[in-house]
Amino acid sequence: MKRTVAQLADGRELIYFDERDDSVRDAVDRRSLPPPPVASELRYDPVLDEWVAIAAHRQTRTHLPSSDECPLCPATVDRPSEIPASDYDVVVFENRFPAFSHRASDMPAEAVVRSGPAAASRSGAGRCEVVCFTAEHGGSFASLSPSRVRTVVEAWADRTAELSARGDVELVFCFENRGEEIGVTLHHPHGQIYGYPFVPPRVRRMLTSARRYAADRAGANLFADLLAAERATGERIVAENEHWTAFVPAAARWPYEVHLYPNRRVPDIPALTGPERDAFGPIYLDVLRRFDRLFGRPAPYISAWYQAPTRVDRDLAYLHLQVFTIRRAPGKLKYLAGSESAMGVFINDIRPEEAARHLREVAA
């Protein structure tokens, strides 16, 4: 794989990940663009002990353009885009409408309390990137080849390692939103990477549980024991290979939700070995294609990597991926209504064991 760093017209970084070592990347972005926005504002919620990003510039981000105006397709003479090249394999670039940014603002880097606990705020430092999985506008992650998935994994690993080394990033989050039902604003197959300036609340809660579990069980790892239990019973296993296991969690919140764990505990994507990276593509593609076959149409889903924080609790973490669809039946979606949105209490209409059986039955 060849890695080439370039720069867009407004100074944002762009990185090509090419599968051919002889690829030449000398195309220049000739657009006239305004300067990138500065860092957003973070405001602290003392009731929930959470930070909220206020990023008003994102209100004007591109929304469902026609295919001939897609900003993620390769550029042409008549239609410039975010990728100046006429073709590409995998590309990562700084988001034009970032929720977090390293570009300085007039906000302080550390929290400042001005008039009480509800007024604590600071700069939304960090980094937001876009990952284009393919130059083909009409494709999807599920239509990629295993070799292309391997290239995507290399891009995830590269960006996780580089962003983890930044002083303003506490956790690197690689994810994909797919489908208008999820809220996707660009149809081109792509994902995103957030370099958070704090450890997100869900991860903090997971690590608190892992710390308590380790204290109660002579240092045992919660995630490793959970995976071992699923592999032992096999009731909720959807697919597995030498290096990975895909299963529906016993307390699944979503109608169809699958977790993919490497069989060896590692903190993050860069820690995966070559064989583990090779083995990920086939099993993940299998899971995504099962999702699409459930109801005979493309599944709207969120795919989220849970990695260790960059500086704390790395010994407690266990890299894994969660992918779930909000479709619960043909023509029916799972909405986060009163209980889920207001109280955080999920109510699942499908037994996890039945969901696992359905997913096993739709194998190719």
> What integer pLDDT is reported at residue 120 of this predicted model?
85
CB atoms within 10 A of CB 269: 25
pLDDT at site 112 = 67
The percent of residues in the chain predicted with pLDDT above 90, rounded, is 88
Residue-number span of the structural domain to which 130 is assigned: 1-35+62-95+126-364
Residue 327 has φ and ψ, to the nearest 5°, of -85, 125
Would you state the pLDDT for residue 113? 66
> What pLDDT score does 119 carry?
72
Q: Is residue 322 part of a domain?
A: yes
Which pLDDT score, from 0 to 100, does residue 57 have?
86
Establish if 338 belongs to a structural domain.
Answer: yes
| Active site residue ranges | 190
This prediction's pTM: 0.96
Instruction: List pLDDT tens digits, range 140-193.
Output: 999 999 999 999 999 999 999 999 999 999 999 999 999 999 999 899 999 999
Q: Other C-beta atoms within 10 Å of 355: how many? A: 24
The candidate with the shortest Cα–Cα distance to 128, out of 104, 157, 159, is 159
Q: Is 184 exposed, middle or buried (0-12, 13-18, 19+ CB in 10 A)?
A: middle
**Which helix (DSSP H) or strand (DSSP E) does residue 287 occupy?**
helix 274-294
pLDDT of residue 139: 92
Q: Residue 114's pLDDT is what?
A: 65
Q: Is residue 55, in this structure, part of any structural domain at all? A: no
> Domain for residue 107, yes or no?
no
Low-confidence ranges of the chain (pLDDT < 70): 108-109, 111-116
Residue with the two structure tokens 């609790």:
313
**Angle CA(342)–CA(345)–CA(349) in degrees, nearest 5?**
120
What DSSP assignment string belongs to 44-109?
EETTTTEEEEE-GGGGGS--S--GGG-TTSBP-SS---SB-SS--SEEEEE-SS-SS-SS--SS-S
Annotated binding-site residues read 70, 73, 137, 188
Query: Does residue 104 lie within any of the structural domains?
Result: no
User: Residues annotated as binding site for Zn(2+)?
Assistant: 70, 73, 137, 188
Instruction: Give the helix/strand (H/E) hosting 159.
Output: helix 146-164
CA distance 229 to 249: 11
Characterize the bridge pairing of strands 332-333 and 320-325: unpaired
Amino acid at 353: E
Within-domain flag for 108? no
How many domains are there within the chain?
1
Say if 280 falls within a structural domain.
yes
Beta bridge partners of 172: 195
Tell me the CATH number at 230. 3.30.428.10
